[in-house]
């Protein structure tokens, strides 16, 4: 219960979705279900328990199906989650195992289910992947639903909540969250869950602040307690004192203002305070993403990945199939530029029925342009499709993974051959398109000046450049901490590339994830990178950053960073200097 | 090739997970659905660990990421069609 003068408590959790809200707590209590009795049954009793269990599963499934039925299409991603849950009710590891356990151990259904669902959850204990780890929560939620039918304890119907509250729960299942009446909930707080759990995903899509993985929120918070949910900082403050309350009210207002501003300003040009103009482009993979790119204010497509068409088919796609897809994107974007990157794929990812081989180190193997040059017919087909699409708009051609000059010379030969064939075939095409290469291998950085003589532009792919420069696989948890875009070695590489491009008078773009992180922007600006391509969703925040920076000042930032010897130091310097600008990007 | 080996290969297929998300809940559910029709056990194996293909939970706990090669195994020749179906499904990237 709320008691005047009760002490302020801060609990640290994981920021599920950014934003701040202040409100009264509403606890969704499921503890009644957690107390489970265990008792022995005889042969006949076991048969009865099995029946009871099967009935409970059936009821839970029906209820679940009714929830799915009642949802609109706007719940797309949640629907998928709910449908996946539907399958879990009858999963062998839960359904059959519970029946077996009742039979073999002659115990009641509740205890058998509890035991079995715990075993199932334990299978995910050592899993590193956050997505899969979150699936353990799915098992709990499904088991809890069945359990509530076994014990007769009814769920609290979230749809019956009738005031604007902050929902505090042990965990929220997709079925729970989908019944929430949005206007009545201002934030979520849960004991369980992580950044990739359903509660976080849903909170993000509803744009409600949430803090998850708090461990003990339900036991620390009482109904009607005043609580602050700081989804940006991953904190919950219970019974805040006046000063804290005041601080957070201010933060809340500026956060909301910031977001409203972001949306309004996404159509404004990316111009710095001192008038320097930058170009923000979008990375896309599918035609459908063109809409998101345009909505977020992209001035063009800086990286059109073309792998998807090669993964689905049992054969290589035809020139016509590729041409139609490329033309669609090019026409939708025209007159804005579309940079089409040729196949950047590992041989082992191409459909195995087309190409099977074993490689000890795929990242160092036959991938991207190497694969294409080994399979010139595949490459030729793609180049022809791109040159044809180029007659419908503004196209640039980008070759990935170039590691030496001879490769680009070979690529040129294939392009010439494509031109010849298209002429003979009398197809409409455009040969005068800029040719660029990805700079993502350290040898390409070192040879940048020589490479620049053969191409019209460079595009720095930071993801691979960092991986190859630091010799780390960032998916390997043991070394992932070494993956730092602001590593001095990486900054130096980018600088060398930019200097080579300047010297030879060719253009330079950056299209790796580094370009989409606001904190890196002062350094990239200071380095003289004027064209940045990123995922559509990152554009507004990066644009906001650029519009609030002074280009001359970023030169100083860069010079200062150049004297530093660790990513950490540089990071710290940027965070201190641009604290205000970065705070609301959830980068505090 | 000796007979035993040939026989064994008839009952197993090596396939690579090609969809970018890897083996997440929906693909696993599709596999479990197909495997549910099998007469005998169906397995998904990788590097020494094996999962019952009829259980979504078991499949997910193998933690199969994009690009991983797995072996789909059946125990009885009557389930050959199931083997083909699952292999084709994986190879197609689960239609994603």
What is the reported pLDDT for A386?
98
Q: Is A246 an interface residue toward B (CB < 8 Å)? A: no
Q: Is A365 an interface residue toward B (CB < 8 Å)? A: no
Write out the two tokens for B46.
Answer: 């990788």
Nearest by CB to B54, which of A92, A314, A346?
A92
B-chain residue closest to A137, CA distance:
B57
Residue A219 contacts residue A198 (beta carbons within 8 Å): no
User: Nearest to residue A357, comparing CAs of B95, B69, B41?
Assistant: B69
Q: Do A91 and B52 touch (CB under 8 A)?
A: no
Instruction: Output phi, psi for A353, to 5 deg.
Output: -70, -15
ipTM of the complex: 0.80
Q: Do B91 and A346 touch (CB under 8 A)?
A: no
Between CA A509 and CA A278 the distance in angstroms is 11
Q: Is B47 an interface residue toward A (CB < 8 Å)? A: no
Angle A362-A131-B47 from CA coordinates, rounded to 5°: 45
Write out the two tokens for A559.
Answer: 């010079």
Q: Do A351 and B14 touch (CB under 8 A)?
A: no
Determine the residue among B17, B22, B25 to mutate to test chain A binding: the one whose Cβ has the most chain A Cβ atoms within 10 Å.
B25
Q: Is A92 an interface residue toward B (CB < 8 Å)? A: yes
Instruction: Output phi, psi for A238, to 5 deg.
Output: -95, 135
Nearest by CB to A123, which of B21, B57, B93?
B57
Contacts of A582 (CB under 8 A, 6+ apart): A518, A519, A574, A575, A588
What is the reported pLDDT for B4?
46
Write out the two tokens for B42.
Answer: 């169906």
Q: Do B91 and A351 touch (CB under 8 A)?
A: yes
Determine the residue among A312, A358, A366 to mutate to test chain B binding: the one whose Cβ has the most chain B Cβ atoms within 10 Å.
A312
Q: Is A79 an interface residue toward B (CB < 8 Å)? A: no
Angle A389-A395-A396 from CA coordinates, rounded to 5°: 125
Q: How far is A383 from chain B (nearest CA, A)?
A: 24
Angle B57-A192-A182 from CA coordinates, rounded to 5°: 105
In this predicted model, what pLDDT tens digit does every residue of B17-66 receive, in sequence order?
888 778 888 888 889 989 988 888 899 998 878 899 999 888 988 888 88
B67 contact residues in A (CB cutoff 8 A): 346, 348-349, 362
Residue A425 Cα distances to A375, A422, A433, angstroms: 22, 5, 20
Contacts of A453 (CB under 8 A, 6+ apart): A504
Write out the two tokens for A566.
Answer: 């660790």
Q: Do A129 and B29 touch (CB under 8 A)?
A: no
Q: How far is A11 from chain B (nearest CA, A)?
A: 31
Q: Is A127 an interface residue toward B (CB < 8 Å)? A: yes
Q: How far is B40 from chain A (nearest CA, A)?
A: 14
B-chain residue closest to A95, CA distance:
B55
Determine the residue among A87, A127, A140 to mutate to test chain B binding: the one whose Cβ has the most chain B Cβ atoms within 10 Å.
A87
Catalytic residue among B12, B15, B21, B24: B24
End-to-end CA distance of chain A: 33
Q: Walk along chain A (588 residues) and give the pLDDT tens digit of each residue.
A: 334 447 899 999 888 888 899 998 888 755 434 456 778 889 889 999 999 999 999 988 988 888 888 776 656 666 777 777 888 898 988 999 999 999 999 999 988 998 898 888 888 877 777 777 778 888 888 888 888 888 765 555 555 555 678 888 888 776 666 566 656 788 889 888 776 666 776 676 567 899 988 888 888 888 788 999 999 888 999 999 999 999 999 888 888 877 777 767 777 899 999 999 999 999 988 777 787 788 788 999 999 999 877 865 667 889 999 999 999 999 999 899 999 999 988 755 565 555 556 677 778 888 899 999 999 999 999 999 999 999 999 999 999 999 999 999 999 999 999 999 999 999 999 999 999 999 999 999 999 999 999 999 999 999 899 999 999 876 676 777 788 899 999 999 999 999 999 999 999 999 988 998 899 999 999 999 999 999 887 888 899 899 999 999 999 999 999 999 999 999 999 999 998 888 655 443
User: Nearest to residue A278, comparing CAs of A535, A549, A580?
Assistant: A549
Helix axes A43-70, A130-151, angle to 10 degrees: 120
Residue B32 contacts residue A91 (beta carbons within 8 Å): yes
User: Nearest to residue A29, comparing CAs of A142, A136, A155?
Assistant: A155
Q: Is A328 an interface residue toward B (CB < 8 Å)? A: no
Q: Do B25 and A311 touch (CB under 8 A)?
A: no
B56 contact residues in A (CB cutoff 8 A): 84, 87-88, 91
Q: Do A132 and B95 touch (CB under 8 A)?
A: no
Q: Do A311 and B18 touch (CB under 8 A)?
A: yes
Between CA B13 and CA B88 the distance in angstroms is 10
Between CA A406 and CA A562 the distance in angstroms is 33
Contacts of A249 (CB under 8 A, 6+ apart): A22
Residue with tokens 């699952």: B86
B24 is catalytic: yes
What is the reported pLDDT for A152?
67
Q: Please say whether the dihedral angle defined by the alpha carbons of residues B83, A98, A29 and A133, taken in this order, is positive or negative.
A: negative
Q: Is B56 an interface residue toward A (CB < 8 Å)? A: yes
What is the reported pLDDT for A345?
81
Q: How many helices (H) and strands (E) does chain A have?
A: 25, 17
Q: How far is B36 from chain A (nearest CA, A)?
A: 10
Q: Do A124 and B24 touch (CB under 8 A)?
A: no
Residue A300 contacts residue A338 (beta carbons within 8 Å): yes
């Amino acid at each position: 219960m709320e008691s005047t003068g009760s002490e302020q408590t801060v609990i640290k959790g994981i920021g599920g979705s950014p934003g701040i809200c202040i409100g009264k707590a509403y606890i969704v209590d499921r503890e009644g279900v957690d107390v489970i009795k265990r008792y022995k049954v005889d042969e006949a009793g076991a048969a009865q328990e099995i029946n009871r269990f099967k009935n409970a599963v059936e009821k839970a499934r029906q209820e679940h199906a009714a929830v799915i039925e009642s949802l609109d299409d706007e719940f797309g991603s949640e629907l998928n989650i709910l449908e996946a849950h539907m399958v879990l009710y009858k999963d062998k590891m839960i359904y059959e195992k519970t029946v077996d356990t009742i039979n073999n151990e002659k115990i009641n259904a509740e205890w058998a289910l509890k035991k079995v669902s715990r075993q199932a959850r334990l299978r995910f204990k050592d899993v590193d992947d956050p997505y899969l780890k979150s699936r353990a929560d799915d098992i709990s939620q499904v088991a809890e639903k069945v359990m509530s039918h076994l014990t007769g304890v009814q769920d609290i119907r979230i749809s019956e909540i009738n005031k604007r509250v902050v929902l505090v729960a042990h965990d929220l299942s997709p079925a729970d969250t989908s019944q929430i009446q949005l206007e009545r909930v201002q934030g979520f707080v849960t004991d369980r869950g992580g950044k990739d759990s359903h509660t976080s995903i849903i909170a993000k899509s509803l744009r409600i602040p949430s803090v998850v993985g708090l461990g003990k929120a339900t036991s620390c918070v009482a109904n009607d307690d005043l609580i602050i949910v700081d989804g940006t900082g991953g904190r919950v403050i219970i019974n805040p004192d006046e000063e804290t309350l005041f601080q957070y009210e201010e933060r809340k207002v500026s956060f909301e203002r910031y977001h409203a501003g972001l949306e309004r300003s996404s159509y404004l040009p990316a111009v710095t305070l001192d008038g320097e103009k930058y170009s923000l482009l979008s990375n896309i993979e599918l035609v459908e993403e063109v809409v998101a790119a345009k909505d977020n204010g992209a001035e063009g497509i800086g990286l059109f990945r073309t792998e998807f068409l090669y993964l689905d088919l049992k054969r290589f796609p035809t020139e016509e199939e590729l041409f139609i897809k490329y033309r669609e994107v090019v026409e939708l974007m025209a007159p804005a530029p579309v940079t089409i990157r040729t196949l950047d794929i590992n041989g082992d990812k191409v459909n195995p029925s087309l190409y099977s081989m074993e490689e000890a180190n795929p990242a160092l193997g036959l991938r991207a342009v190497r694969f294409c040059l080994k399979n010139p017919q595949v490459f030729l087909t793609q180049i022809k499709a791109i040159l044809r699409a180029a007659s419908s708009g503004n196209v640039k051609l980008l070759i990935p993974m170039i590691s030496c000059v001879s490769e680009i010379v070979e690529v040129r030969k294939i392009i010439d051959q494509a031109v010849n064939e298209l002429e003979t075939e009398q197809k409409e095409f455009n040969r005068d398109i800029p040719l660029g290469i990805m700079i993502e291998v350290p040898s390409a950085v070192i040879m940048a000046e020589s490479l620049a003589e053969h191409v019209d532009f460079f595009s720095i792919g930071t993801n691979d450049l960092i991986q190859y420069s630091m010799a780390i696989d960032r998916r390997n948890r043991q070394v992932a901490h070494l993956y730092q875009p602001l590593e001095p070695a990486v900054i130096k590489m980018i600088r060398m590339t930019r200097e080579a491009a300047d010297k030879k008078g060719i253009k330079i773009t950056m299209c790796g994830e580094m370009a989409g992180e606001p904190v890196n922007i002062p350094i990239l600006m200071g380095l003289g990178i004027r064209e940045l391509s990123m995922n559509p969703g990152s554009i507004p925040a990066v644009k906001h950053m650029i519009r609030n920076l002074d280009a001359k000042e970023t030169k100083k930032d860069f010079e200062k960073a150049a004297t530093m010897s660790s990513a950490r130091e540089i990071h710290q310097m940027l965070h201190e200097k641009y604290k205000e600008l970065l705070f609301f990007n959830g980068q505090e | 090739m000796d007979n035993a080996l040939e026989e064994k290969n008839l009952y197993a297929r090596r396939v690579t997970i090609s969809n970018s998300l890897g083996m997440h809940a929906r693909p696993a559910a599709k596999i479990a659905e197909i495997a549910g029709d099998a007469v005998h056990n169906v397995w998904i194996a990788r590097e020494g660990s094996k999962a019952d293909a009829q259980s979504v939970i078991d499949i997910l706990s193998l933690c199969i990421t994009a690009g991983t090669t797995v072996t789909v195994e059946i125990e009885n020749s009557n389930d050959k069609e199931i083997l083909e179906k699952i292999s084709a499904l994986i190879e197609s990237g689960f239609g994603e």
